[in-house]
Structure 1
Amino acid sequence: MTKPVFRFAPSPNGRLHLGHAYSALLNADFARRFRGRFLLRIEDIDITRCRPAFEAAIYDDLAWLGLTWEAPVRRQSEHFADYHAAFLRLKGRGVVYPCFCTRKDITETIACREAETGRDWPRDPDCAPLYPGICRGMPVDEAGRRIAAGEPHAWRLDMAALEKLAPGPHRFRTFDREGREGIVTAHPRRWGDAVVVRKETPTSYHLSVVVDDALQGVTHVVRGQDLEAATDLHVLLQALLDLPTPRYHHHGLVLDPMGDKLAKSRRSQSLAELRAEGATPQAVWRRLGFDPQPTPRT
């Protein structure tokens, strides 16, 4: 029987905090419980924010916690060709279109439509306004000319086209720490025409993560509740690309004293800062609800 495969996939755009530690420890704990494999993946497609020093710090922090992982570590920035091949498959199926809009274009169009209708514009699960379809339906020759001229553009999923090509329902399995499973129906349309290739990067989080999980044989995805809604798009992309759908577990988030989730952008206390204050790996394990076995290295 094939062993279950788990992965912890941080981005090297800042120092790890307790929320990252919880997710890494939980993945490792699941791998131990299910007698599976534990992988580390570096999600560094954002070449403007990711730094080698932060990547080195990830390895250092995880090793300090006492975690070990399989080598080699997959670094997304080394695999843009894999993501481009997946994009070409989507393009060949006619389910994506180029979008030349700026944020200003989108904001102004939405403001006009809200003024016309007197209603708030619908938003996606992350509370961002849904794309208003400005470039959807653009003639192919016009889009081709603009691309050939080097005009910056992203590529979006055409949800209207997908209604006919992949109507669903799209379902995925969930699991908990006791091994119990459930079935959830995904609702990708609530994301609107989501971006699958960004202007500044030849992929997106959504596209690269499903390609990576398939290529690495990941069978169980363990990540925070803040990514639970994104599973809608991931399950859809897996269906379009004929990729396997892993089982999913979305864990609760580690919160700060104000009740907000920990985040690099809010300068939440990092593991490095905790170490400087004298915290031990065992104390971090216990603080996050884990029995520190095996004993972490100090």
Structure 2
Amino acid sequence: MTPSPPLSTPAVERPAPPYRGRLAPSPTGLLHLGHARTFWIASTRARAARGSLLLRNDDLDQARCQPAFVAAMQEDLLWLGLTWDRAMVSQSDRIDRYRRALERLHAAGRIFPCTRSRRDVIEAAGAPHEGGADDEPLYPREFRPNAAAPLPPLGDRIEVNWRFRVPDDVEVAFEDARGGPQRATAGRDFGDFIVWRKDDTPSYQLATVVDEIEFGITEVVRGADLIKSTFRQLLLFKALGRLAPRYFHAPLVLDDKGERLAKRHDALALRTLRAQGRTAQSILKQFEQETRKP
């Protein structure tokens, strides 16, 4: 008698995890209208999905971060009517978590030490600047060590930059909840990027990815100026064997010269506007009107 073939187990469709977003201000200055609108969008999307929202203090830049700005950003968010679940998390308290992720990348051979200065990279032939002053220049492939060469140990204290080796000429893509399909080619549109700095601090790219993973963030709402960072972070999610969240890149608020707001725009800081008599309700109404525009 011919045995019957084994029954195939039907695929069980698992329910999507509950929505969890985050607010991630950096305490290097006062929050301005651009920050406020992005955080309001994040709050609105979390509320619409009946989800939760976490507050993360991105305070890795110890040279620029100030305790006064940490207190101010919380006060300004609450004044605007934005709330979050659970206690605020500070990245400076999580260095050990980021270090473990770095060690995983090191063990997998996905990173390499780099002694080149930023000026070296910018001045190198064929190394055009990738973006604004806060972005990384395109790292020349000839600066890389041989991929087959053994890596030196990380050491207890890191005193050299470590970069993630991107897979050259591989397309990285994602669907942005606002802007639609986004694509970039690794090694052309962005290059090998820093994941740990020579002052022994993790980079924004690595710390953010570790946080999104460990806190179960399902959607990241942030400014459109960070789209290129998303491509880099997608590679880190893959290298760490984890799925990436969804993304919504909000349009930037521009000043009267058409430039994106920065923390030097004190005239548009929430504290300045509040002192001038602006109410939180008027600011939120402004945001609602702007989002209705085509």
Given the two structures, how large is their TM-score scaled by the length of structure 1?
A: 0.82
2:129 is the counterpart of 1:123? yes
Contact 1:157 1:196 in 2 (8 A): yes
Identity of aligned residues (%): 37
Contact 1:186 1:235 in 2 (8 A): no
Contact 2:159 2:197 in 1 (8 A): no
1:173 equivalent in structure 2: 175
Q: Could you tell me how far 1:289 is from its partner in structure 2? A: 1.9
SS in 2 for 1:94: coil
SS in 2 for 1:72: coil
SS in 2 for 1:23: helix
SS in 2 for 1:264: coil
C-alpha distance in 1 between matches for 2:65 and 2:76: 17
- Within a 5 Å distance, the mapping from 1:84-123 to structure 2 comes to 84-107=99-122, 110=124, 113=125, 121-123=127-129
2:97 is the counterpart of 1:82? yes
2:80 is the counterpart of 1:65? yes
Contact 1:101 1:153 in 2 (8 A): no
1:234 equivalent in structure 2: 233
1:188 equivalent in structure 2: 186
SS in 2 for 1:228: helix
1:40 to 1:260, Cα distance in 2 relative to 1, 3 A: same
Partner amino acid for 2:83?
T
SS in 2 for 1:137: coil
Q: Could you tell me how far 1:73 is from its partner in structure 2? A: 1.3
Report the RMSD for the aligned CA atoms in angstroms.
2.7
2:10 equivalent in structure 1: none
1:47 equivalent in structure 2: 62
SS in 2 for 1:61: helix
2:205 equivalent in structure 1: 206
Partner amino acid for 1:86?
A
2:163 is the counterpart of 1:156? yes
1:105 to 1:183, Cα distance in 2 relative to 1, 3 A: closer
Contact 1:65 1:281 in 2 (8 A): yes
C-alpha distance in 2 between matches for 1:107 and 1:121: 6
Contact 1:122 1:130 in 2 (8 A): yes
Contact 1:100 1:135 in 2 (8 A): no
- Measured against aligned partners, the alpha-carbon deviations of 1:11-36 in whole angstroms (never above 9, x if no partner) come to 00000000011011101100111111
Q: Could you tell me how far 1:287 is from its partner in structure 2? A: 1.6
Partner amino acid for 2:137?
P
1:35 equivalent in structure 2: 50
Q: Could you tell me how far 1:123 is from its partner in structure 2? A: 3.3
C-alpha distance in 2 between matches for 1:268 and 1:207: 33
C-alpha distance in 2 between matches for 1:198 and 1:216: 24
Partner amino acid for 1:123?
H
Q: Could you tell me how far 1:243 is from its partner in structure 2? A: 1.7
Q: Could you tell me how far 1:94 is from its partner in structure 2? A: 0.7
The runs of 5 or more residues in structure 2 that have no matched partner are: 1-14
Contact 1:45 1:201 in 2 (8 A): no
Partner amino acid for 1:156?
R
1:103 to 1:220, Cα distance in 2 relative to 1, 3 A: closer
C-alpha distance in 2 between matches for 1:54 and 1:154: 28
- Measured against aligned partners, the alpha-carbon deviations of 1:193-246 in whole angstroms (never above 9, x if no partner) come to 111111224210000111101111100111111001211101110000012211
Q: Could you tell me how far 1:104 is from its partner in structure 2? A: 4.2
The runs of 5 or more residues in structure 1 that have no matched partner are: 114-119, 292-298
Partner amino acid for 2:82?
L
- Measured against aligned partners, the alpha-carbon deviations of 1:165-185 in whole angstroms (never above 9, x if no partner) come to xx8654433324xxxx95544
Partner amino acid for 1:236?
L
2:221 equivalent in structure 1: 222
The structure with the greater share of residues assigned to helix is 1
Aligned residues: 271
1:61 to 1:257, Cα distance in 2 relative to 1, 3 A: same
SS in 2 for 1:98: strand
C-alpha distance in 1 between matches for 2:38 and 2:49: 16
